[in-house]
Structures are given as C-alpha cells and as structure tokens.
Amino acid sequence: MGGPRGSTMGVHALHEWMDRATIHLTPRRYFKWNDVVVVEGFGEWHAPGTEASGTGQVVATVFIVRHDRIASIIRYDTLQKAFRASGVDITDEVSV
C-alpha cells in the first residue's frame, strides 16, 4: 500500500490506515489491463473529528489483483502518473 506519504505492507497496515484516514473517495472512472485496475476518483479530506469537507481533488489508485485478491494499492495525485506507473492507458477504460 502506498501513496504520497510513503508505503507500507500488510493487511494490518491497511486496517490502521482505514481507521485513521480522513479521506472520502468517490470513484469516477475505471481502467483495466490484465491484473491491473486503475480507479480515478474524487478525494475529499475532512478535518479529524468532524464531518466538514476540506480540500478535494481528483486522484487515481492503482490496484494489482492476484488470485482474486488485491495484492497492491498505490494512490497517485493524477491519472497520468497512475497510467505511467501501471502501464494502463486511456484506451483501457471499462464500464461498470
């Protein structure tokens, strides 16, 4: 699991992040090539302990799926960075 603030490994780390994250991600578009899925979404960060919306921006998350399980999650600040890192491109968009 990785993003702008670094990376970590393990299910325990994912659970900890989910408990403390102040981000709400709304998916917009999906792209898939082989075992790689890129999700473009709108991220809104909230002030800790409040429901007030803070800043928001479009982000992209790259998921690598192995044996029907998510093996890797990495968030990027732009869709273009996610495409460069993953090998997926705009022609790989899928309807959900």
The domain segmentation of the chain, as residue ranges, is 23-94
Give the C-alpha separation, 48 to 54, whole Å: 10
Give the C-alpha separation, 30 to 40, whole Å: 6
DSSP string of 29-92, one letter each residue: EEEEETTEEEEEEEEEEE-TT---EEEEEEEEEEEEEETTEEEEEEEESSHHHHHHHHS--GGG
**Three-class SS state of 5:** coil
pTM: 0.76
Looking at domain 23-94, its CATH class is alpha beta
Position 89 scores a pLDDT of 96
User: Tens-of-pLDDT digits for all 96 residues of the chain?
Assistant: 556 666 666 666 666 666 666 677 889 999 999 999 999 999 887 766 666 666 788 999 999 999 998 888 898 999 999 999 999 999 999 998
Contact 33, 16 (CB under 8 A): no
Position 78 scores a pLDDT of 94
Position 43 scores a pLDDT of 82
